[in-house]
Amino acid sequence: MTEVAFYHLARQPLETVLPRLLKKALEGGWRAVVMASSEDRIEALNTLLWTYDDRGFLPHGSSRDGFAAEQPIYLTTQDENPNGARLLVLTEGVSSNHISTYERCLDLFDGNDAEALAAARERWRKLKELGWRLTYWQQTDQGAWEKKAEAG
């Protein structure tokens, strides 16, 4: 069963955390799909993944780039997996009806936004009721990730 890991972003924004998580996934041989709420956000993430580190970039693409099946990281607003990814990354409260087709799903949410936090709690509650394997990670003051809860 797919593990769904909730990442409570409290100390660092998505723009800092996402590249690190994706780099780790690629180093482990994983392909990823990153879902966002709008095309504008996809474009911002596209730019981020090219420029987040002045020593390199993360190989990725979106529907604008074509060759979806060849992209190690695929950025999308759609609930799709055109690159055969094993990792799904959900941002900005988006959801997927196909979580079970992935080995792992990361739900990244802004823990400093009361609405985003409440929505993440609701997503956790619903998935827990359905019997999903869940973990909840929160950033420490030093920026490391600490597992705070698990279910399933």
pLDDT by residue (tens digit) across 29-49?
Answer: 999 999 999 999 999 999 999
- Residue 106's H or E segment, with its range, is strand 104-110
Rounded (5°) CA angle 107-119-130: 70
pTM over 0.85: yes
- Residue 18 CB-half CA count within 13 A: 32
Task: Choose among 83, 84, 85, 81: nearest CA to 97.
Answer: 81
Whether residue 118 has pLDDT greater than 90: yes
Confidence of residue 141 (pLDDT cuts 50, 70, 90): confident
Whether residue 54 has pLDDT greater than 90: no
- DSSP state, 113? S
Give the residue, 62 or 1, on which the prediction is more confident: 62
